[in-house]
Protein backbone atom coordinates (compact mmCIF):
# COMPACT_ATOMS: atom_id res chain seq x y z
CA UNK A 1 0.00 0.00 0.00
CA UNK A 2 2.85 2.37 0.81
CA UNK A 3 4.39 1.62 -2.55
CA UNK A 4 1.24 2.53 -4.45
CA UNK A 5 0.82 5.79 -2.53
CA UNK A 6 4.45 6.76 -3.17
CA UNK A 7 4.15 5.92 -6.84
CA UNK A 8 1.07 8.14 -7.15
CA UNK A 9 2.77 10.98 -5.27
CA UNK A 10 5.90 10.71 -7.43
CA UNK A 11 3.81 10.67 -10.60
CA UNK A 12 4.87 7.29 -11.93
CA UNK A 13 1.37 6.80 -13.33
CA UNK A 14 2.08 9.67 -15.71
CA UNK A 15 5.37 8.37 -17.12
CA UNK A 16 4.78 4.63 -17.25
CA UNK A 17 4.20 2.71 -20.48
CA UNK A 18 0.39 2.74 -20.24
CA UNK A 19 0.23 6.38 -19.18
CA UNK A 20 -1.62 7.40 -22.37
CA UNK A 21 -4.96 6.31 -20.76
CA UNK A 22 -4.19 8.36 -17.68
CA UNK A 23 -3.28 11.44 -19.69
CA UNK A 24 -6.52 11.22 -21.67
CA UNK A 25 -8.56 11.13 -18.46
CA UNK A 26 -6.58 13.99 -16.92
CA UNK A 27 -7.02 16.14 -20.05
CA UNK A 28 -10.73 15.30 -20.22
CA UNK A 29 -11.25 16.24 -16.57
CA UNK A 30 -9.26 19.46 -17.08
CA UNK A 31 -11.40 20.45 -20.07
CA UNK A 32 -14.57 19.73 -18.09
CA UNK A 33 -13.28 21.87 -15.20
CA UNK A 34 -12.52 24.76 -17.57
CA UNK A 35 -16.00 24.50 -19.12
CA UNK A 36 -17.59 24.42 -15.67
CA UNK A 37 -15.66 27.52 -14.54
CA UNK A 38 -16.58 29.40 -17.73
CA UNK A 39 -20.23 28.45 -17.31
CA UNK A 40 -20.20 29.63 -13.71
CA UNK A 41 -18.71 32.99 -14.71
CA UNK A 42 -21.28 33.37 -17.46
CA UNK A 43 -24.14 32.64 -15.05
CA UNK A 44 -22.77 35.14 -12.52
CA UNK A 45 -22.52 37.80 -15.23
CA UNK A 46 -26.13 37.17 -16.25
CA UNK A 47 -27.29 37.43 -12.63
CA UNK A 48 -25.53 40.80 -12.28
CA UNK A 49 -27.02 42.01 -15.57
CA UNK A 50 -30.51 40.98 -14.44
CA UNK A 51 -30.08 42.82 -11.13
CA UNK A 52 -28.83 45.96 -12.93
CA UNK A 53 -31.71 45.88 -15.41
CA UNK A 54 -34.24 45.33 -12.61
CA UNK A 55 -32.96 48.42 -10.82
CA UNK A 56 -33.09 50.37 -14.06
CA UNK A 57 -36.69 49.30 -14.66
CA UNK A 58 -37.64 50.39 -11.13
CA UNK A 59 -36.04 53.80 -11.68
CA UNK A 60 -37.74 54.28 -15.04
CA UNK A 61 -41.11 53.21 -13.63
CA UNK A 62 -40.80 55.67 -10.74
CA UNK A 63 -39.82 58.51 -13.10
CA UNK A 64 -42.81 57.61 -15.31
CA UNK A 65 -45.19 57.72 -12.35
CA UNK A 66 -43.66 61.02 -11.22
CA UNK A 67 -44.05 62.53 -14.70
CA UNK A 68 -47.62 61.28 -14.97
CA UNK A 69 -48.56 62.83 -11.61
CA UNK A 70 -46.96 66.16 -12.64
CA UNK A 71 -48.95 66.05 -15.87
CA UNK A 72 -52.18 65.36 -14.00
CA UNK A 73 -51.51 68.37 -11.75
CA UNK A 74 -50.79 70.57 -14.78
CA UNK A 75 -54.00 69.46 -16.52
CA UNK A 76 -56.24 70.42 -13.58
CA UNK A 77 -58.62 73.30 -14.26
CA UNK A 78 -57.41 75.32 -11.29
CA UNK A 79 -53.78 75.17 -12.46
CA UNK A 80 -54.70 76.18 -15.99
CA UNK A 81 -56.88 79.05 -14.79
CA UNK A 82 -54.01 80.36 -12.62
CA UNK A 83 -51.59 80.23 -15.58
CA UNK A 84 -53.90 82.11 -17.97
CA UNK A 85 -55.18 84.63 -15.39
CA UNK A 86 -52.46 87.14 -16.34
CA UNK A 87 -53.78 87.12 -19.93
CA UNK A 88 -57.25 88.00 -18.64
CA UNK A 89 -58.77 84.69 -19.72
CA UNK A 90 -61.40 83.27 -17.38
CA UNK A 91 -63.64 80.25 -17.21
CA UNK A 92 -66.94 80.80 -18.96
CA UNK A 93 -70.01 81.08 -16.75
CA UNK A 94 -72.26 79.79 -19.54
CA UNK A 95 -71.79 76.11 -20.33
CA UNK A 96 -71.15 75.21 -23.96
CA UNK A 97 -74.05 74.11 -26.14
CA UNK A 98 -74.09 71.54 -28.87
CA UNK A 99 -74.54 72.85 -32.41
CA UNK A 100 -76.50 70.61 -34.75
CA UNK A 101 -76.18 71.12 -38.48
CA UNK A 102 -78.90 69.66 -40.63
CA UNK A 103 -77.92 68.34 -43.98
CA UNK A 104 -79.55 70.09 -46.94
CA UNK A 105 -79.46 67.02 -49.19
CA UNK A 106 -82.85 65.55 -49.93
Query: Is 19 domain-assigned?
Result: yes
Query: Is 58 domain-assigned?
Result: yes
Give the residue numbers spanning the domain of 41: 6-87
Query: Is 103 domain-assigned?
Result: no
Query: Is 1 domain-assigned?
Result: no
| The predicted structure's pLDDT at residue 106 | 58
Query: Is 17 domain-assigned?
Result: yes
> pTM here?
0.56
Query: Is 93 domain-assigned?
Result: no
71 pLDDT tier (thresholds 50, 70, 90): very high
The mean pLDDT of the chain is 88
| The predicted structure's pLDDT at residue 105 | 75
58 pLDDT tier (thresholds 50, 70, 90): very high
For the chain, the domain total comes to 1
Per DSSP, the residues of the chain read -HHHHHHHHHTHHHHSTTHHHHHHHHHHHHHHHHHHHHHHHHHHHHHHHHHHHHHHHHHHHHHHHHHHHHHHHHHSHHHHHHHHGGGT----SSPP----------
Amino acid sequence: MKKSIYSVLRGKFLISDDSFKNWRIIIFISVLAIIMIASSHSADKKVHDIARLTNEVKELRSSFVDGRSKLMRLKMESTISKKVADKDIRVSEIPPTKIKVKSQQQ
